[in-house]
A = this chain, B = another copy of it.
Amino acid sequence: MDGIHDMGGMHGFGAVVAQPGEPVFHEPWEGRVVGLMVAAGAAGLIPGSLRPRIESMDPAAYLAASYYGRWAHALEAGLVATGTLTVDEIDTRVAGGDPVPTRSSATSPALVAAIGGFLDAPGATSGVPVAAAFAVGDRVTVRRMAPEGHHRCPRYVRGVAGTVTRVAGGWPHPGEHEPEAIYTVRFAMADLWGADAEPGSLALDLWERYLA
Contacts and interface: CB of A to CB of B under 8 A. Distances in A.
A4 B192 CA distance: 19
Main SS class of interface, A: loop
A197 interface: yes
A48 interface: no
Instruction: Report the contact-size class of chain A (Cβ under 8 Å from the partner).
Output: 20 to 34
A145 B194 contact: yes
Interface in A136-176: 143-146, 148, 155, 158-160
- Highest count of chain B CB atoms <10 Å: which of A55, A155, A191: A155
Interface in A1-21: 1-4, 9-14
A119 interface: no
Contact of A193 (B9, B145, B194): B145
Given A1-B12, A155-B155, 13 more contacts: A2-B9, A4-B63, A12-B59, A14-B58, A60-B63, A60-B64, A63-B63, A143-B194, A144-B193, A145-B194, A146-B194, A158-B159, A159-B160
